[in-house]
Amino acid sequence: MRADSAAALNLLLVDADAASRRQLRRLLRTLPEAARCRIDEAADAQQALHRLAAGDVDLLLLDTSLPGIDGLQLAAELQRRRAPGRELPAAVFVTDDAAHALAAFELGALDYLLKPPPRARLRRVVARVAALAANAAPPPLTRPAPNAPAPGDAALSVRAHGALIRIALAEVLYFSADHKYTLLRTLHERHLIDTTLDELERRHHERFVRAHRAALVARDALAALHRGECGWTLRLRGVDDVLPVARRRLAALRALLR
């Protein structure tokens, strides 16, 4: 990662369709955050792996549908090949197929966008990767003081069956990115809201911790960490859901489980 926040990012577009690559390149060139970026292209996973071998790609924008090895398999292969201590490029899927969002996030994707990607959403992605490349520090993971009052709003409003209802923050086990929305999970319910994980983390960091780019978890819900073939996962109290854990968050989550 770069220490200079003004440094240009290196982007790699991976899509079998040349017209889609051109369209995405043109869209990126309209973003102030991407004005100085170097943009390379690949038509399949093999070309992408060859380019990624140089190790200087910051953001990978890839389709799920690729000839031979598809986009999800490519992301999994990058995880398998990762050398100890080496950061993978941020991955964003840009695709026509909405069916694989969960699998993409489980592989560590930063976002999952349908073609043509919304300019504002794409701009936020590039800005976020630029912040990561500049070594922007995540908020500290510390335990709240015993019996501390609930910070900010004690509940969130969600729409369910055509009605607006209130969900107490104390009932929320986790939030996870779900395409254009955020999934709110309680012990017995799931709801979609349009508040981003970043905004939820900013408002309620005393109650929730970031386990992954795509997962914000209630501190009281943490149960156990498990290491598998595809990396670390987090289990929660009361549900069977398993959430991915970013390597950079592992030590802090371990500390909270002691």
For 200-212, the pLDDT digits (tens) are: 999 998 999 999 9
What's the confidence (pLDDT) of residue 217?
Answer: 96
Q: Tens of pLDDT along 140-193?
A: 333 333 333 333 447 887 876 556 678 889 899 999 987 778 889 998 888 888
Q: How far apart are CA 225 and CA 238, in angstroms?
A: 15
73 vs 81 pLDDT, higher one: 73
CA dihedral 163, 168, 171, 174 (to 10 degrees): 80
What's the confidence (pLDDT) of residue 181?
Answer: 84
Contact in structure between 71 and 102 (CB atoms under 8 Å): no
> How would residue 85 be classed by pLDDT, with cut points 50, 70 and 90?
low
What's the confidence (pLDDT) of residue 101?
Answer: 80
What's the confidence (pLDDT) of residue 1?
Answer: 42
Fold of 155-257: OB fold (Dihydrolipoamide Acetyltransferase, E2P) (2.40.50)
Q: How far apart are CA 58 and CA 64, in angstroms?
A: 19
Same fold, 10-133 and 155-257: no
Q: How far apart are CA 210 and CA 216, in angstroms?
A: 5
What's the confidence (pLDDT) of residue 74?
Answer: 94
Fold of 10-133: Rossmann fold (3.40.50)
Sorted by where each begins, the domain ranges of the chain are 10-133, 155-257
Contact in structure between 63 and 98 (CB atoms under 8 Å): no
DSSP code, position 65: -
- CA neighbor of 97 nearest in space, from 135, 64, 50, 62: 64
What's the confidence (pLDDT) of residue 103?
Answer: 80
Q: Tens of pLDDT along 89-111?
A: 889 999 998 888 878 877 778 78
Q: Which residues in 5-24 are b (16+ Cβ under 10 Å) and which e?
A: eeeebbbbbbbbeeebbebb
φ, ψ for residue 197 (rounded to 5)?
-60, -40
Q: How far apart are CA 62 and CA 44, in angstroms?
A: 9
What's the confidence (pLDDT) of residue 7?
Answer: 53
190 vs 16 pLDDT, higher one: 16
